[in-house]
Amino acid sequence: MDDLERDIAEAIGDKETLEQALENVMPLLDDPGKKAYLGLVGMVLPFDEDFSLWMLRSGKEVLSVLDDEDARKQALETVVSMGKSKWSVVAAIFRQLPHFSDMEQELPTRWFSYCSTISDVDQDAAIEFIVASPELLEVLDTEGFDSWASLGVEIARKSWKAAKEYFKASPEVIKRIDVSDMDQWARLGIQLIESAPELKARHKASSMLAQGADAGKGRKLDLAVQYFKSAPQILGRLSIKDLRKWVEAGMQEEHGESGKSSAFFSLHTGKSRKTVDHLVKGLELKDAHVVLSSYAEALAGEKVLLRSSALFYKDLPGLSRYISITDGQRVFLPSKITIFDDNELNFKVFKLMLTHELAHIEHGTFDIGAEDISRLNDFGDPGLAYTILEFLEDERIDYLVGLQYPGIERDRQLILKNYIDSQPDDAKAMSVFESLSFGDLRTDVPKEGCNALLVKVLRDAAWRVRDESVKARDVLDIALRVWPQEAEMAPQKAYDAVVF
């Protein structure tokens, strides 16, 4: 046992724990790697004994995330080189490392580098990056994660305060915007850092009132800090395009000690909030909630809890803006409908969605249990089989709603017509399911690029479910009969025919 091992054993008062830890990690590390591992434990031990003990007991599992010996050694040497002053960053890194277990092996190595680079600028910003990383990894692909992290490094080098807020806001922001818009959101913040005006120093360096190392120096307004802080609130309501307009409006505010521009980006001024309201496109759920709640109660005969789809799809950002759903008790609707410029039509969309979801409850969709649905697993592609079931059950529900509420059916036809008419010609290509849902089932459906057999069997099945006597379990049986016919297609053709 060398001096470092003896020092650690003496500090933790448990020689056996250390020996067991070394025995566990020896297959994973060469001698330099072992030295770096002990260096890590010893470096953090005086500041966070719990982490050091955890690292000893869990070292094998944590380090196994990194596939090869060189990667483990490099990671350990990187964090040890960060020094004792960054012990909190080091501890945070290894606490989060298990989240990279299913990632390509080069990513954890790059992640260590990002952590080190950001911590060189500011430790708090680095910790926010580390904490946010697992949630971003669930949503972004490798390229997207690297882009997010690289932009964070760029922001940190320009303003550590802004970087801290950028990382802190990212998990919430990504739930509210398309992944492809993350880059634009970050670059708007960079633009604010670069264009923020510099205020003159309040006092000369020689003044008795001047304090600190920056005494007598001007300072830049922290507009980007406020921008990133406000982002989760704003991006729930504005598109990236409209966010840019809001930023431009904020830059027109007076810059000075009065702080009007800073207050604007903090959403602390009436003008800022009014600008957001003015830029909001479509109809927001909060503005229609009272009317929709009364409507739902009238249909259901009891109070119905209406919530935003963002709560239901919190782990699947993006879906909440387009999809309504029910869990059998509550109804989840998009937080905003922006399909049409006419908010009367947008309200009809809300009303149609709500009626459809309530009909699922009324007409027994939830009579199909998990055990019933598990029957779909017996087929070659359970995902496609489930899509067929979902399509047919929606067709049944739409048919029953049309019989029960002719006015709603007229609204549905009006919505579909206006939606299709509003789409450019090059955007009108639809999946088989969309074609059958949007079109009249009595007529031929455009088959360009679609498999004729799939079109035929789905059309026939859709006709069978459009019957008052058909129940949810009957729909499942029909879907199970559809699948063997669909499976006659070559697997690749089945995928080509369905656009999800």
List the chain domain ranges: 282-342, 364-499
What is the pLDDT, as a whole number, of residue 431?
66
The first and second tokens of residue 456, run together, are 């035929």
Q: For 92-100, which contacts have Cβ atoms below 8 Å and span 24 or more sequence positions?
A: 92/126, 92/127, 92/130, 92/131, 93/130, 94/40, 94/51, 94/55, 94/62, 95/51, 96/130, 96/131, 96/133, 96/134, 97/62, 97/65, 98/61, 98/62, 98/65, 99/133, 99/134, 99/137, 100/65, 100/137
Per-residue pLDDT, 254: 66
Regions of the chain short of the pLDDT cut 70: 1, 199-219, 254-259, 312-322, 424-432, 435, 438-451, 483-500
**Strands annotated E in 193-251:** 198-199, 219-220
- pLDDT for res 499: 32
DSSP structure string for 261-319:
HHHHHTT-SHHHHHHHHHH--SEEHHHHHHHHHHHHHHHHSS--EEEEHHHHTTTSTTG
pLDDT for position 336: 87
pLDDT for the residue 442: 43
The rounded distance, in Å, linking the Cα atoms of 62 and 202 is 51
- 240-251 vs 223-234: helix axis angle to the nearest 10? 140
DSSP state of 255: P
Q: What are the φ/ψ torsions at residue 428 (nearest 5 degrees)?
A: -90, 0
Q: Which pLDDT does position 500 carry in this prediction?
A: 27
Q: Give the pLDDT score at 473.
A: 94
Q: Is the pTM of this model over 0.75?
A: no
DSSP H helices in 363-499 = 370-373, 382-404, 406-422, 432-438, 452-465, 472-486, 491-497
Q: What is the pLDDT of residues 421-475, one digit of tens each?
A: 887 665 455 666 776 776 644 444 444 545 677 778 888 899 999 999 999 999 9
Q: Rounded to whole angstroms, how far apart are CA atoms 253 and 396? A: 55
